[in-house]
Amino acid sequence: MKIQDTLSKNQKQLDTSGKIRIYVCGVTVYDESHIGHARTIIVFDVLRRYLESKGAWVEIIQNFTDVDDRIINRAKRENVRASAISSRYIDNYYNDFDDLNVIRATKYPKATEHIEDMQNFIKSLVNKKIAYTSKNGVYFSVAKFPEYGKLSKKKIDELLSGARVEVDEAKKDPLDFALWKFSNEDPSWESPWGRGRPGWHIECSAMSIKYLGENFEIHGGGRDLIFPHHENEIAQSESYTSQPFAKIWMHVGMITINGEKMSKSKGNIKSIRHVLESFSSNIIRLFCLSGHYSKPIDYSEDLLQENITKWRQVESCYYEMNLAKGNGPTDEIKKIIIECQNEFNSALDDDLNTHLALSAFFKFINEINQLVASETITKSISDLAIPIFEKMIYIIGLKIPKISDEEIKTINELINKRESLRAEKKFQEADRIRDQISEMGIELIDHKNRTTWMKKEKIQSERH
């Protein structure tokens, strides 16, 4: 499989026969997660699912930033400890992402639980004279890392000429960034340099190296982290280990709204919880995977709505396959199905092209639905197709709503009752049964000689 690497600007080959170590920059837990976070995490979730399907042993580490000015500010405002804020939004995070059917990472390390690791990291940089102490804290000296700017393709002097670098007398160089900030307020820890808290970037360097080693396969996150966060991580980590850091830097595009980036400062955030009120995780995942991960996606209810229609085809296809009966030849359809699957896989092999993979998946759906329409679907065919279908939806992370045997029994009884009423041309009564079944969340599908059904997902479009 190939992945585009931001650092080298080339596609890099991933060896899927062994272990693949991935570090994803997670969220700062000071508020609810939004749909932009969802996209990034879903992309890495699909990557993980796909790599695992190819037999790779994937390890994903995703941090929670639980030391941050925004957390501290919120804690002050609510008059609680910082940890109360972060644990609230960590719980919130798990609820949101479980509902989005995201497989949990191998580990979710927290910054506050790795203070010692960070301090050891900083000590080493201070010993190497790459970091220095000032009156405000310990800073990384960018001048000591000549390759600074290689990830974001920025030149140091151009950064300096930009008027927006923060003015801080205590820093030797305006580009230097904090490894440790002196502070006595909650939360803070003792350190060899004085009481304080870690800077933002150091946690990811310390924790990724701790859990994944000095040179792991993929380091990722949203595009907006390229500078300064990932740039600084490279500077720290490579200064610390004296060797290249991550092999591949993978960055996910932003979700925009009316063409503008979704961000707190613009006040155009759509929280995951908010979107989940109107659209299921299946719809949200299809939406988030509808374009190439590296490009922006514009959020709109219409686009989400469009995916409801797509999803129904998938659902209906699945239920039809499960209700198929009889035996028959499979050679021809087998060829087509395998072709779709190959197309699906090679799309994902090529830099996780989920949109192209989905189009192969929809070709598959259409092939099956054609057989359904022509009443030529058989159990022989569905026995062949269902495992492939299930494999594909697993990789995309879609879930067909489950239904109990008891429910199935009730549904079948009602269908039979309706059939006899229809035979007697008692259509009003038959329609009443259809409504009754509909209230159970089941949609009936009348074919020429038989009636099938599918479980409708709870999707109410709350259009305001």
Partner RNA sequence: GGUGAGGUGGCAGAGCGGUUGAUGCGUGGGCCUGCAAAGCCUAUCUAAGGGGGUUCGACUCCCUCUCUCACCUCCA
Tokens read off for 50:
């796909």
Number of Cβ within a 10 Å radius of residue 450:
12
The secondary structure of residue 28, as a DSSP letter, is: B
Please report whether residue 227 would count as binding RNA according to CB under 7 A: yes
Among 150, 274, 355, 379, binds RNA (CB under 7 A): 355
Among 58, 115, 159, 352, binds RNA (CB under 7 A): 159
Q: Which is nearer to RNA, 127 or 374 (CB)?
A: 374
Please report whether residue 448 would count as binding RNA according to CB under 7 A: yes
Please report whether residue 123 would count as binding RNA according to CB under 7 A: no
Q: By CB under 7 A, what part of segment 93-122 binds RNA? A: none
CB of 242 to RNA, least distance (A): 25
Q: Which is nearer to RNA, 99 or 443 (CB)?
A: 443
Please report whether residue 424 would count as binding RNA according to CB under 7 A: no
Start-to-end Cα distance in the chain: 43
Among 12, 48, 219, 223, binds RNA (CB under 7 A): 223
Question: Judged by CB under 7 A, how many residues of this single chain contact RNA?
Answer: 86
- Give the 3-state secondary structure of residue 191: coil
Q: By CB under 7 A, what part of segment 14-73 binds RNA? A: 25-28, 34, 36-37, 39-40, 65, 70
State the binding string over 229-248 for RNA (x if CB under 7 A, else -): x-------------------
CA separation for the pair 118, 65 (Å, rounded): 13
Q: Where are the alpha helices (DSSP H) in 222-353?
A: 231-241, 272-278, 281-288, 301-323, 331-349
CB of 172 to RNA, least distance (A): 16
Please report whether residue 416 would count as binding RNA according to CB under 7 A: no
Which stretch in 106-114, 130-138, 164-172, 388-396 sits in contact with RNA by CB under 7 A?
164-172
CB of 67 to RNA, least distance (A): 11
CA separation for the pair 148, 232 (Å, rounded): 8
Q: By CB under 7 A, what part of segment 253-272 binds RNA? A: 253-256, 259-265
Please report whether residue 210 would count as binding RNA according to CB under 7 A: no
Among 222, 333, 337, 415, binds RNA (CB under 7 A): 222
Please report whether residue 303 would count as binding RNA according to CB under 7 A: yes
Using alpha carbons only, give the angle 221, 227, 230 rounded to the nearest 5 degrees.
50
Among 67, 358, 392, 400, binds RNA (CB under 7 A): 358
Among 312, 379, 399, 417, binds RNA (CB under 7 A): 312
CB of 16 to RNA, least distance (A): 20
Please report whether residue 447 would count as binding RNA according to CB under 7 A: yes
Q: Where are the alpha helices (DSSP H) in 112-230?
A: 115-127, 156-161, 200-212
DSSP output for 56-94? -EEEEEE-BB---HHHHHHHHHHTS-HHHHHHHHHHHHH
CA dist list (Å): 402 to 313, 417, 443: 17, 24, 14
Which stretch in 14-22, 97-105, 304-312, 407-415 sits in contact with RNA by CB under 7 A?
304-312
Which stretch in 109-117, 185-193, 236-244, 369-377 sits in contact with RNA by CB under 7 A?
369-377
- Which neighbouring-strand residues pair with 255? 297
Q: Which is nearer to RNA, 123 or 350 (CB)?
A: 350
CB of 227 to RNA, least distance (A): 4
Residues across the chain: 464
Query: Is residue 239 left, alpha or beta, with left meaning phi > 0 and alpha meaning psi from -120 to 50?
Result: alpha
The secondary structure of residue 360, as a DSSP letter, is: H
Among 58, 310, 382, 437, binds RNA (CB under 7 A): 310
Is 16 within 8 Å of 56 (Cβ atoms)? yes
Rg of the chain over Cα atoms, rounded to whole angstroms, equals: 27
Whose tokens are 């993978």? That residue is 250
Angle, nearest 10°, between helix axes 301-323 and 379-396? 150
CA separation for the pair 6, 415 (Å, rounded): 56
Is 221 within 8 Å of 61 (Cβ atoms)? no
Q: Which is nearer to RNA, 182 or 311 (CB)?
A: 311
State the binding string over 128-157 for RNA (x if CB under 7 A, else -): ------------------------xxxx--
Among 14, 131, 226, 395, binds RNA (CB under 7 A): 226
The secondary structure of residue 169, as a DSSP letter, is: T
Please report whether residue 373 would count as binding RNA according to CB under 7 A: yes
Residues 6+ apart with CB under 8 A from 406: none
Please report whether residue 2 would count as binding RNA according to CB under 7 A: no
Q: By CB under 7 A, what part of segment 389-408 binds RNA? A: none
